[in-house]
Amino acid sequence: MHDLKPVTALGQSAPVAETIGTITIAENDTLALASVAARMGHEEACHAILKKLIGAVPGPGKAQLHDPQAGFWTGPDQWMVSAPRETHELLADTLTPMFGQTATITEQSGAWVCFDVTGAAMSDLCERLCAVPIRKMDAGGALRTMIHQMGCFVIRCKADDHIRILGPRASANSLHHALTTAAHSIA
């Protein structure tokens, strides 16, 4: 067992949460992430394994909100699968034998920062950040968009006032700044 201590994407030892007006912006440091890309000629087999794993094969713009593994569409025959890091630290290593030659698995846990944004004014906040049609999105909607020049995924979660934003980890501070600034704007 190694003794290296991870830091959050914001560079802290623990996730940061902040409430501004009705909006709470909380860094979610609990996710393990791995990309799944179907290999040519093995698409159907890959779909079957994915469906068994997370309950469905999310189509474009969709996420499958599922425990413990969830997933969302990232491109043609590509998905990002997530799971609690505490129990699935080696998610990619776990998925690789599970999918075998049907899919390419790549560890992505360190590549993203994740913010859970909740609150009554969530839609107003989202409208100040990106072009996703937040008021038309149902739970399980997952769209790639730009937030302040950063490529991000916005996932509409089960609660009406909850979105999850995944952005580039190296720009976590910039993304956090964008979120909090927008929250102050609408507060």
Partner 1 sequence: MSQKNRIAGGQIDRAKTLKFSFDGRSYAGHPGDTLASALLANGVRLMGRSFKYHRPRGALSAGSEEPNALVELRGGARQEPNTRATTVELFDGLLAKSQNRMGSLRFDLLAINDRLSNFLTAGFYYKTFMWPAAFWEKLYEPVIRKAAGLGSLSGKDDPDVYDKGFLHCDLLIIGAGPAGLAAALTAGRAGADVILADEDFSMGGRLNSETFAVGDRSGADWAAQTVAELASLSNVRLMPRTTIIGAFDHGTYGGLERVSDHLHSPDAGKPRQILWRIYAKRALLCAGATERPIAFDNNDRPGVMLGAALRTYANRFGAAADRRVAIFTNNDDGHRTARDLHAKGVRISAVVDVRPDAPLHPDYQVLRGAQVVDTRGRLGLSFIDVRQADGTMRVVECGALGVSGGWNPNVHLTCHQRGLPVWDDAIAAFVPGENLPVGMAVAGAANGVFTTAGALRSGAAGAVAALDLGQTPDLPQTEDAPVNITPFWYVKGCARAWLDQQNDVTVKDVKLSHQEGFRSVEHLKRYTTLGMATDQGKTSNMGGLAIMAELAGKTIPQVGTTIFRPPYTPTAIGAFAGRHRGQGFHPTRLTPSHKWAQEQGAVFVEVGNWMRAQWFPQPGETHWRQSVDREVLATRKSVGVCDVTTLGKIDVQGTDAAAFLNTIYCNGFAKLAVGKVRYGLMLREDGIAMDDGTAARLAEDHFVVTTTTANALPVYRHMEFVHQCLFPDLDVQLISTTEAWAQYAVAGPNSRKLLEKIVDQDISNAAFPFMACANITVCGGLRARLFRISFSGELAYEIAVPTMYGDALIRRIMAEGAEFGVTPYGTEALGVMRIEKGHATGNEINGTTTAQNLGMGRMVSTKKDSIGAVLSRREGLNRADDLRQVGIKPVDPAEKVPAGAHLMNAQGPVDAVHDQGYVTSACYSPNLGHHIALGFLKNGGNRIGEELRLVSPLTGVETRVEIVSPHFIDPEGERLRA
Binding site for partner 1 (CB under 8 A): 1-9, 11, 35, 37, 39-41, 78, 90, 93, 101, 104, 106-112, 127-133, 135-136, 148-150, 168-175, 177-178, 181-182, 184-185, 187
Compute the least distance from the CB of residue 142 to partner 1, in Å.
Answer: 17
Task: Between 55 and 107, name the residue whose CB sits nearer to partner 1.
Answer: 107
Compute the least distance from the CB of residue 100 to partner 1, in Å.
Answer: 12
Cis peptide preceding 68, ω within 30 of 0: yes
Residue type, 65: L
Compute the least distance from the CB of residue 81 to partner 1, in Å.
Answer: 13
**Both tokens of residue 176?**
């956090």
- For residue 166, give the nearest of 121, 97, 108 by alpha carbon: 108
Task: Between 127 and 161, name the residue whose CB sits nearer to partner 1.
Answer: 127
With contact defined as beta carbons under 8 Å apart, do 154 and 142 qualify? yes
Residues 6+ apart with CB under 8 A from 102: 38, 39, 42, 45, 46, 49
Compute the least distance from the CB of residue 63 to partner 1, in Å.
Answer: 18
